A and B are shown apart, each in its own frame.
Chain A
Amino acid sequence: MDDLKEELKRQLIEQLNLEEITPADIDDNTLLFSDKGLGLDSIDALELIVLLEKYHGIQVTKPEEGKEVFRSVNSMAEYIRKRQN
């Protein structure tokens, strides 16, 4: 089990108030902004930027990266590792 990904799932649920979802409901590849996935919206995208800064000390300085970074838990974890190294 990847600790960072599990941590990210818990943070997503807390930051986005996803009360009816548990970490087990979120697959590493679940699409965050698709109706077939978590169905997040544009305000949630801003919350994800806050999440990265609040929990991981990472500022998203290139907004054009957002679409790929926030695609799934996998892509978020990959981005965090890249920025921390």
Chain B
Amino acid sequence: MNFITAYGHLQENSCAVNGETICRRDKNSGDPWFRQIYKEQEFVYPKFHKMDVLSQAGFLTSELIKRANPQFAGKYKDDEIAMLFANRSGSAETDQKFVHAYQNGTPSPSLFVYTLPNIVMGEIAILNKWYGESLFAVLPAFDAEFYINHCNLLLSAGSEAVLCSWHEIAGNQIDVFTFLIEKEGESRFELTTNTLSKIAFEGNFHKTEINANYYY
């Protein structure tokens, strides 16, 4: 049996870890929402400011999950932690910014490197020196079965833990749900479709779901 040992939600106006809100957006702040969280949580990683929004969200949620599960980082070898991410819009947000910059005559190389959605996993891997398996899928909607099937595969083939995320950011819409799967752990959450779906929807995934229905 595998377990969900920590999880976090990041949305337009709030950020929660293990179901508890730790940060609310201050609409009067001069800082963008993700930078507000970065400052409030006192992170120190200057590269954060160079990242696109997908990678910033990945940095924030993965670091918050590590804080919520402090023994996690030192528990595994560097190739035993896999990553499994998915979303609906790929890197469209950054792609559009790059096209806009290109059309206005100042294309940015640092923007260009983020025009692939899987770069977020590269950023997390570089920061943590994790060299395990990684997969980023583009799906019409959050699908608990997808994560469970792929986690089972990864955990039966050498991985001991999988950092997963539904990582959807499109315009002002932010639906990020990041969760950690381990073979063993002190957790009341066994990895089942019902449990994962229930935890995922503790956050407010309504917009992604509605948009997904359009595709079906």
A-side interface residues toward B, CB under 8 Å?
A: 16-21, 43-44, 46-47, 50, 54
Contacts and interface: CB of A to CB of B under 8 A. Distances in A.
Nearest to A49: B109
Contacts, number: 27
B49 A43 contact: no
B106 A54 contact: yes
B110 interface: yes
B46 A47 contact: no
A6 to B, nearest CB: 21
A44 B111 CA distance: 11
| Size category, B interface | 10 to 19
A25 to B, nearest CB: 11
A44 B46 contact: no
A37 to B, nearest CB: 13
Contact of A50 (B46, B50, B106, B113): B106
A43 B46 contact: no
B108 interface: yes
A38 to B, nearest CB: 10
Interface of B: 35, 46, 49-50, 106-110, 113
In the A-B complex, the 9 residue pairs with the smallest Cβ-Cβ separation, listed nearest first, are A46-B109, A19-B49, A17-B49, A17-B50, A20-B46, A43-B110, A47-B110, A43-B109, A43-B113
Given A16-B110, A18-B49, 7 more contacts: A17-B49, A44-B110, A46-B109, A46-B110, A47-B109, A47-B110, A50-B106
Contact of A16 (B35, B50, B107, B113): B50
Contacts of B50: 16-17
